Structure 1
Amino acid sequence: MSRLVVVSNRVGPLKDTGKAGGLAVALVDVLQEMGGLWFGWTGTTSDEGSFGPLQTEAVDTVTLAQIDMTQADYDDFYAGYANRTLWPVLHYRLDLADFSRRYEEGYRRVNERFATRLRPMLKADDVIWVQDYHFFNFAAELRAMGVTNKIAFFLHIPFPAPEILAGLPNADQLVRRMLAYDLIGFQTSRDAENFRRFVVSEIGGKDKGNGVVSAGGREVLVRGYPIGIDAAGFAKLATTPDARRHTARIEKLVGGRPQIIGVDRIDYSKGLPERFRAFERLLEDYPENRGGVSLMQVAPPSRSELDAYAEIRRELEELTGHINGRFADLDWTPIRFMARSFTRRALAGIYRASRVGLVTPLRDGMNLVAKEYVAAQRAEDPGVLVLSRFAGAAEGMPEALIVNPHSTEGVAAALQTALTMPLEERRDRWQAMFDRICAQDASAWAREILRDLDAYSK
């Protein structure tokens, strides 16, 4: 039986810490079943960087293998090209991208160094599965070293239309290097189609149908594979003691009044300022909600070293003060903004206590919060999901109230619909979504990709 080798920027954990997300759960399940190696960055920098000692940990049939980066590699590869160049471009924000040649060179350097460290650990029949935008070049580096193993890639964030990606200097070279993979997976069929269109229109390749593209002597399977969560497991989290405590705290706090919940990292792709303005419009256009409906926004900081993120946090704090100053009453605070994180058990309890889940990114690969919110609901009295059309989750959750996050009036109207929706309709919408996320869970996602890789690359 083939061994699975997973490559990702960060590794693990193999054990449930209460904070592991859907990706970690899915990868751990399939790694333990197949036996495997999980390779990536330690999360720390050192003088030796990737040339330093390999840090390994074996747990049953799975080995974690990690290496450091130098500070220069971190600055150029991770903070630089990955997060200052690729992240904004792939989220349709060319205006925020830093097109530094030094960053691009650092990205290629780290991909090559990491591939060099992985190469001696590979076995002839290993199946290699590379994760996310940090490692677009990884397969090309391995192929240059003579690796002929089956290699799959999955992108967890959006892949933009060719007209957007073409704004990235050397985008054609990046896509050509991606064709060293045997299978390239995206969150949605739209993202997969964007990639195939780029291959045809920008590098002269051919779309051969059934998801296959060819260029430069390579044929690659390119499809959408929407990632899932462990829906049944997350539903159980909502009934754990910790979750129940958080549910009870919220219910005591709101005193029977409806709460809207948002959970997002502070990031310009998440549309948080637009969300706050839409909530303000809800209170303006539907004044019966004043003194009753509140918005809780959980927003852990991310990439705080980048100016754009610090500016968003300041804007959110200013909007919170403005809206609360305008509408608050003695016993009611319209917005509770918390720039901190919670465990998954705590979040399950918070979701369960919230009448509306508000998930309105301006652009998102999937957004698993939408699925977690649905999984956490009480079947007898579920809440309503309001979901951006630009989240990958919208492709598979048509029963949500789908909105344009740029329209404050439209989001406010959808919130009003959610708050006043009859119980029977809420149950019908929730049941359809819950059944689907249970069937299309994280394990099914991983196994489908590996089945297709095996079938296509024989």
Structure 2
Amino acid sequence: MSRLIMLASRCAAEKTDACDLLDDAINDILRKHPGVKMGWNGKINPGKKKRGCSQYQDNGSTFCSWDISPNEYDNYYHGYVHKTMWPIFHNRPDLAVYRKEYFITYKNYNQAVADMLAEQLCDEDAVWVLDYHHIAVGQRLKEDGYLNRCGFFFQQPFPPGDVFRSLPEHDWMIQALCHYDLIGFQSAADASHFISYLCRYYRTERLSDRIINVNGHLVSVGVFPCGIAGTRPEPKRASSALADYRRRIIISNDTVTDMSGIHYRLEAMRRFLNHWPQYMRDVSLLQISDPAQEHPHSSHDLHHKLERFCGELNGQYGDFSWYPVNYIHNDLCSRETMYSLYARAEVGMFTSLSEGMNLGAKAFVLAQNPENPGVLVLSQFSGTSQQLRDAVIVNPYDADETAQALHSALTMPLHERKRRHLKLLETLRRQDNHWWYQAFRTALEHPDSDVGAPRIAYHRVFAGRSLY
């Protein structure tokens, strides 16, 4: 079988113990299916010398990484990716910042990445580009004459068409995407937004359940929910943290952004305590936010607002021995510690306002004791909610609904908790990281298969304007 080259936004320069569930999932795949992983190593060079590149071998796989210049860091990474694309793909175009130098640097960086990938490419290799950091790489490879199968996967949600069109380079981006042989999404809703956009603004024709023709470009579209390794941590490790902590725990773990919904979550906690005061001194929300995962939309104003809100909530309800919210904003939670915290919690609360996938919610389910499991509360605006349907699904904007969900989760009978957990566990083990890999690769190399085919209604033909 040919190799698969996986292009990620990040690739460590050496083996690391950093806690990143997606990175863990990819590295676990490469241990079983040797290939190549490529990406930025997280380092910034002085800017006046040649780009530093390195690679190492591990279990038959090759890991290639490079540094970026200060200009690329400012204009590509923190500029176009985080200040322009991130808000739009999360349905918040009002937060987007548009600057010409951002887009120019993004295009130039994608060309440089395509050139580095081409150096690793053999005739029979397939290419899998992960996330929108490298949308243009597939087009660059095709235009340079490489005929390798190329697939693209959106980790982020795909917005409705009118929101996507607020991106000044929306047409350029669609042209780049249509050079991929396969485009994968986290949920059917994201795939539907993409297909609806194509059918509305371009001349398209449906050739099969999966394949559409966009002005001579044959593009397969599929839904491939990202999975994680489906094994539970050792019980001894999972019970070691917080051994002396006697409170019941509601846990939430996400980065501080405008889309994390933490402020709505804290308001839901306030209403929960107002409606059910019997939980005072008994239940605490453990809100964990790792600053290492954050980007410019984690603004100082938002941090100060959340800290002030936590202070007000704790001042209103707390006492000398108990606080309703423990807000931890540091990088002290290792992989083992997080699994221990997940295992100890009775409720996992993952209520973002918009996101493609949430691997933390899946880690919470895996860490639970099947004989006495906790309850997963999940946002309806997370792509993961369409996969984990046996979670308690809430509208994160509705604080009263979320408060009611917390009460229901904490009072849910054991038999109902076990039933929901068993269903969630079956889904996670069936659609783990290796299923994700095999499903995407099968669809990429055998486009006529029905693996990952979205159950979405297509328009047969739309006589829109030409793609070019």
Same fold at TM > 0.5: yes
Aligned counterpart, 1:11: 11
From 241, 244, 247, the equivalent of 2:239 is: 244
Tell me, in whole angstroms, the C-alpha distance in 2 between the residues paired with 1:49 and 1:183. 38
Amino acid of the structure 2 residue aligned with 1:326: Q
CA deviations on 1:18-70 (whole Å, 9 max, x unpaired) are 6241x323322443444322222121122458943431212241111122211
Structure 2 counterpart SS, 1:99 = coil
Name structure 2 gaps, 5 residues minimum: 450-468
Q: 1:274 aligns with which of 264, 268, 274?
A: 264
Kindly tell me: are residues 210 and 325 of structure 1, through their superposed partners in 2, closer, same or farther at Cα, counting changes over 3 Å?
A: same
The alpha-carbon deviation at position 13 of structure 1 amounts to 7.7
Kindly tell me: are residues 311 and 48 of structure 1, through their superposed partners in 2, closer, same or farther at Cα, counting changes over 3 Å?
Answer: closer
Cα drift, residue 280 of structure 1: 0.5
Match in the other structure for 1:326: 316
Aligned with 1:381 (options 372, 377, 380): 372
**Counterpart AA for 1:394:** S
Match of 1:428 in 2: 419
SS in 1 for 2:320: coil
With normalisation by structure 1, the TM-score equals 0.93
In the alignment, the residues of structure 2 paired with residue 374 and residue 90 of structure 1 have an alpha-carbon distance, to the nearest angstrom, of 27
CA distance in structure 2 between the aligned counterparts of 1:192 and 1:137, rounded to whole angstroms? 19
Kept in 2, the 8 Å contact 1:302–1:309? The answer is no
Amino acid at match of 1:262: S
Between the two proteins, the alignment pairs up a number of residues equal to 448
Distance apart, 1:136 and its partner CA? 0.9
The AA in structure 2 aligned to 1:245 is: S
The answer (yes or no) to whether the contact 1:7–1:38 under 8 Å persists in 2 is yes
> What does the per-residue CA deviation read over 1:300-336, in whole Å, with 9 as the maximum and x for residues that have no partner?
1257662652222111100110000000123211110
Secondary structure of the structure 2 residue equivalent to 1:201 = helix
> For residues 380 and 32 of structure 1, do their structure 2 counterparts lie closer, same or farther at Cα, with a shift above 3 Å needed?
closer
Letter in 2 for 1:369: G
SS in 1 for 2:226: coil
Check whether the contact 1:323–1:334 (CA below 8 A) recurs between aligned residues. Answer: yes
Distance 2:263 2:13 in 1: 33
Which structure has more helix as a fraction of its residues? 1
Cα deviations by residue, 1:106-140 (Å, 9 ceiling, x for unpaired) = 11110011111221221111111111110111101
| Alignment equivalent of 2:253, drawn from 259, 263, 272 | 263
Q: What residue in structure 2 maps to residue 139 of structure 1? A: 138
Which residue of structure 2 aligns with residue 314 of structure 1? 304
Is 1:453 aligned to residue 450 of structure 2?
Answer: no
Tell me the CA shift for residue 340 of structure 1. 1.7
Would the aligned equivalents of 1:258 and 1:354 in 2 still touch at CA under 8 Å?
A: yes
TM-score of the superposition, structure 2-length normalised? 0.91
Q: Which amino acid aligns with 1:181?
A: Y
Identity among equivalent pairs (%): 31
Indicate the SS of the match to 1:228. Answer: coil
Of 367, 373, 392 in structure 1, the residue corresponding to residue 383 of structure 2 is 392
Return the alpha-carbon distance in structure 2 between the equivalents of residues 307 and 425 of structure 1.
Answer: 39
What amino acid is aligned across from residue 135 of structure 2 in structure 1?
F
SS of residue matched to 1:146: coil
Q: Which amino acid aligns with 1:316?
A: L
Amino acid at match of 2:387: G
Partner SS state of residue 268, structure 1: coil
In structure 2, the CA distance between the partners of 1:228 and 1:451, relative to structure 1 (3 Å rule), is same
* Matching residue of 2:285: 295
Instruction: Tell me what 1:406 maps to.
Output: 397
Unpaired segments ≥5 residues, structure 1: none
Q: CA, structure 1 residues 31+11, in 2 after alignment: closer, same or farther (shift >3 Å)?
A: same
Measured after TM superposition, the shift of residue 432 of structure 1 is: 1.0
1:110 partner amino acid: Y
Amino acid at match of 1:352: A
Match of 2:409 among 401, 404, 418: 418
Q: Matched residues in 2 for 1:290 and 1:85: separation?
A: 42
Match of 2:212 in 1: 213
Question: 1:16, CA displacement in angstroms?
Answer: 6.7
1:52–1:15 Cα change, 3 Å: closer
**Do the aligned residues in 1 keep the contact of 2:13 with 2:65 (CA within 8 Å)?**
no
1:441 aligns with one of 432, 444, 449: 432
**Conserved in 1, the CA contact under 8 Å of 2:13 and 2:64?**
no
Contact map agreement 2:14 2:56 (CA 8 A) in 1: no
Q: Give the match's secondary structure for 1:43.
A: strand
2: CA distance, partners of 1:16 / 1:443: 21
Whether contact under 8 Å (1:262, 1:359) holds in the other structure is yes
- For 1:152, the equivalent position in structure 2 comes to 151
Determine whether 1:120 maps to 2:119.
yes
What is the CA–CA distance in structure 2 between the aligned matches of 1:317 and 1:372, rounded to whole Å?
26
Report the residue type matching 1:236 in the other structure.
P
Partners of 1:435 and 1:285 in 2: CA distance: 35
Aligned counterpart, 2:460: none
Alignment of 1:4-43 (within 5 A): 4-12=4-12, 17=17, 19-21=19-21, 23-43=22-42
Q: Which moved more, 1:402-411 or 1:37-46?
A: 37-46
1:185–1:223 Cα contact (<8 Å) kept: yes
Any conservation in 2 of the 1:50–1:114 contact (CA below 8 Å)? no
Contact 2:256/2:298 (CA < 8 Å) preserved in 1? no
Alignment of 1:43-62 (within 5 A): 43-47=42-46, 51-62=50-61
Alignment root-mean-square deviation, CA: 2.0
2:104 matches 1:109: no
Give the corresponding residue for 2:273. Answer: 283
Q: Counterpart of 1:155 in structure 2: which amino acid?
A: F
Q: Is the 8 A contact 2:12 2:40 kept in 1?
A: no
Change (3 A) 1:156 1:321: same
Structure 1: distance between partners of 2:48 and 2:115: 13
Instruction: Please tell me the residue identity of whatever aligns with 2:131.
Output: D
| Higher mean displacement: 50-59 or 375-384 | 50-59
Distance 1:307 1:266, change over 3 A: closer
Per mean C-alpha deviation after superposition, the further-off stretch among 30-39 and 53-62 is 30-39
* Contact 1:180/1:218, CA 8 A, preserved across alignment: yes
Cα deviation 1:166-221 (Å, max 9, x = unaligned):
11112022011111111111100111111111111123333444122221311111
Q: CA separation in 1, counterparts of 2:355 and 2:249? A: 24
Residues 31 and 457 of structure 1, relative CA distance in 2, 3 Å threshold: farther
CA contact (8 A) 1:362 1:406 kept: yes
